Amino acid sequence: NAGVMQNPRHLVRRRGQEARLRCSPMKGHSHVYWYRQLPEEGLKFMVYLQKENIIDESGMPKERFSAEFPKEGPSILRIQQVVRGDSAAYFCASSPSGATEAFFGQGTRLTVV
């Protein structure tokens, strides 16, 4: 059973471009979570999704950021018009239900130049 797969592992974008981060959950997991980690800082919750639904987006910036988890295919975290402050590691996690432990992918490291 493959773990949570994130791609790309590294992404470089120029200021103003769009970044798309993908996350394929573990087989049988229908709950997906996105977190952001800045250097030397903790994991900050961004959004919690279940198939085709956003359950909690209280950690998402109000502008430029969006997330989806369609019926088919991976979950996507989309950042429009990236700025240097968006540079961070973005982690995705999945679980079979909302009340159990979550398993993390290896992250996507976004660098905005």
Partner 1 sequence: EDQVTQSPEALRLQEGESSSLNCSYTVSGLRGLFWYRQDPGKGPEFLFTLYSAGEEKEKERLKATLTKKESFLHITAPKPEDSATYLCAAPLGNTPLVFGKGTRLSVIA
Q: Which positions lie near partner 1, rule CB under 8 A? A: 4, 31, 33, 35, 41-45, 48, 55-56, 58-59, 91, 93, 95, 98-107
Beta carbon nearer to partner 1, 83 or 98:
98
Q: Minimum Å distance from CB 92 to partner 1?
A: 8
Shortest distance (Å) from residue 73 CB to partner 1: 21
| Residue 32, number of CB atoms within 10 A of its CB | 27
CB of 22 to partner 1, least distance (A): 15
Cα–Cα dist 16/1, whole Å: 38
Task: Report, in angstroms and rounded to the nearest whole number, the Rg of the chain calculated over CA atoms.
Answer: 13
Of 25 and 105, which CB lies nearer to partner 1 in the complex structure? 105
CA 62 to chain centre: 16
Which DSSP helix (H) or strand (E) runs through 6? strand 5-7
